[in-house]
Each structure stands twice: as structure tokens, then as C-alpha cells.
Amino acid sequence: MRDSAEIDRASLHLANGALVAFPTETVYGLGANALDDTAIARIFEAKGRPRFNPLIVHVPDTSAALDHVVFDRRADAFASAFWPGPLTLVLPRRADCRLSHLVSAGLPSCAVRVPAHPLALALLEACGLPLAAPSANRSGTISPTLAAHVRASLGEKVDMVLDGGPCPLGLESTILDLSTPTATILRPGAITREALESVLEQPVFCLEPSGQDEETAPRSPGRLLSHYAPRATVRLNARDDSIQPGELLLGFGEGHGATLNLSPTGDLREAAANLFAALHCLDDLGADSIAVSPIPDTGLGRAINDRLRRAAAPR
């Protein structure tokens, strides 16, 4: 089978400290052996990423996560409800944790998740290594939801790209900080606050996107305000009849004159899956500015608006 030969080749690369991009249900990840400092340093170099930004470690199941981080009752409940799936848990590193300190950027915590993509799980099982994997794009640019996006952004800096077609969710995982007594969403994603609260039966807090002060003291540096930036500038909450010359409209729901529509039926899940590919595409069409129709700020819409606000932030 083509996939299993590819997975063997990818495992060999990873064991040798190389970088392998692989599909997850959210976006493509740029994977490296999380036990190997040199391999992790190569991720930062390939992405052009500031050293202070820690990485998510991917494992095949909860028991593999327990090798590295300390679970409490809340973590047990979230892992059984949502893993494999688009939820990242930030938890204290174990005293005997062997993960590279670079993946934690020196913090006493580590972000872990079990991805729900068959190729990602097959790779994690075959290589037998925890894989650090940020989104497989140059730092500050749009996350990749196709293998072609990875190649276009990272070129020869990545040793191998496993092609699993388009990522089904298209938005990065929800990041939930459980390293303190207050469960706090550091990055909204496909698992909504409401879904988390229904498992915890307690309020879950959400860090609202804030201004520049996060640049100096980031709690989750992926929250840097300008982070998901296409080449074109981005204008939010645009009305169909307000489009300027040089501007292309990214629509949502019914309406007219959109160059692309995230979801003509107004389906937030479909819109999330299409978001990054649509921004890539409008950039490729040479837009000076991308005008985006309003997106309802509920459920998954909150994660979409979070990414759009960052795309529109001053650079």
C-alpha cells in the first residue's frame, strides 16, 4: 500500500532528526522528534519562528501523553471526551519528562494533543516518537490546509510532506490551559467553550484577544495579534455593496458579488474548513485587500473571527 511505504519512509526521516510535514484534522503540522533538541531547533529555523514560542507535542493516545505530562481529574475528563480530536491541553511537565525543553520554550508546562487524522495516527504509531508539530508554514503566514500550501511556504526546508488531501476542519485546535486551577482557553478552535463547559460542569475562561502587551509577555504566543496574515490587507464585516477597487470579497451566507464564499448556506463548519484555503487563493489572485462578510460570533464562529481579527491586525 502506498501509504504504509510512505509512513515507513517518514518514520525513518523522523528518527534521523529530519522534518516531516503531515496532515491532521485541523491543519498540516511540521513534525519533528520532540525528544531531539537539534530536530526541534530545525523547526524554529524552517518556520523563521521566534524561539520563545512553544510547540504542541502530538502523541498517539492518552497513555503516551502520560509519559510526559501530569494529568489531573479535569485533564482525564477532557481527554476521554475529546481525544483523538482538535483539543490541545497545556499541562505541567513531569519531573522525569524527557521532551526537549525547546518544545516548552523553557516553561514548566507542555502542550499535548492526540490528532484525529488516520495518517497522523498511523505515523505516530509507526515512528513511536512524540512529535512536536506547529502548523507547517512560515511564522506569521496563513496555516496550510493542503500539502501544496506546505510546499509553497516551506519549500526545501521540509524533508518530506505526507499528502493526505485537504484537512477536514481547517482551523487549528482549541488550546486549553490546565496548568493552573482555572481552566482557560488560550486559543479558540473547533472544540467550543460550551462543549468544554458541558464536560467540566464548571465555567471555562477565555483569554480575549488583546493588544500589543502580549508581544512582550505572551501566555500563548500563537495569540500574537498579527499572526494569520495573508499578503493582502484584510477588512472585516464588509457589506456586499461597499467593495472598493482592488478589493476582493470573501463572502459568507447568501449575498452577491463575492469572489469566493466561505459557505453560501451559512454553515460555520464549512466556513472554518474553507477559511485558510480561501485566504491563500485570494492572495494568489493578486488582491490588494480582502473584504470579509460578517461571520456570526457564536460557537465555531468565534474561532473563525479570532483568526480573521488577527489577519486584519496592523502588521
Binding mask 27-66 for ligand TXA (x = CB under 6 A): x-x-----------------------xxxx----------
CB of 143 to Mg ion, least distance (A): 5
Among 17, 221, 253, 266, binds ligand TXA (CB under 6 A): 221
Which residue, chain included where needed, has cell 448556506? 265
CB of 234 to ligand TXA, least distance (A): 19
Backbone angles phi, psi at 290, to 5 degrees: -110, 120
Q: Is 185 in the site for ligand TXA (CB under 6 A)?
A: no
Distance CA 46, CA 271 (A): 29
- Work out the number of other CB atoms within 10 angstroms of the CB of residue 184: 17
Is the Cβ of residue 187 or residue 193 nearer to ligand TXA in the bound state?
A: 187
Asked whether 250 and 258 are in contact (CB, 8 A), the reply is yes
Q: Is 90 in the site for ligand TXA (CB under 6 A)?
A: yes
- Whether omega before 84 lies within 30 degrees of 0, making that bond cis, reads yes
Crossing angle of helices 300-312 and 268-284, in 10° steps, is 20
Distance CA 12, CA 142 (A): 29
Among Mg ion, ligand TXA, none, what does residue 27 contact (CB within 5–8 Å per kind)? Answer: ligand TXA
Among ligand TXA, Mg ion, none, what does residue 251 contact (CB within 5–8 Å per kind)? Answer: none
Is the Cβ of residue 158 or residue 238 nearer to Mg ion in the bound state?
A: 158
Give which of 83, 92, 91, 90 is closest to 120, Cα–Cα. 83
DSSP letter at 242? Answer: G
CB of 255 to ligand TXA, least distance (A): 30
Strand duo 109-113 + 56-58: pairing: parallel
Among 135, 261, 263, 305, binds Mg ion (CB under 5 A): 135
In the structure, how many helices (H) and strands (E) does the chain have? 10, 14
Is the Cβ of residue 30 or residue 250 nearer to ligand TXA in the bound state?
A: 30
User: Which chain residues interact with Mg ion by CB under 5 A?
Assistant: 135
User: Which chain residues interact with ligand TXA by CB under 6 A?
Assistant: 24, 26-27, 29, 53-56, 88, 90, 104, 107, 109-111, 115, 133-135, 172-173, 175, 186-187, 220-222
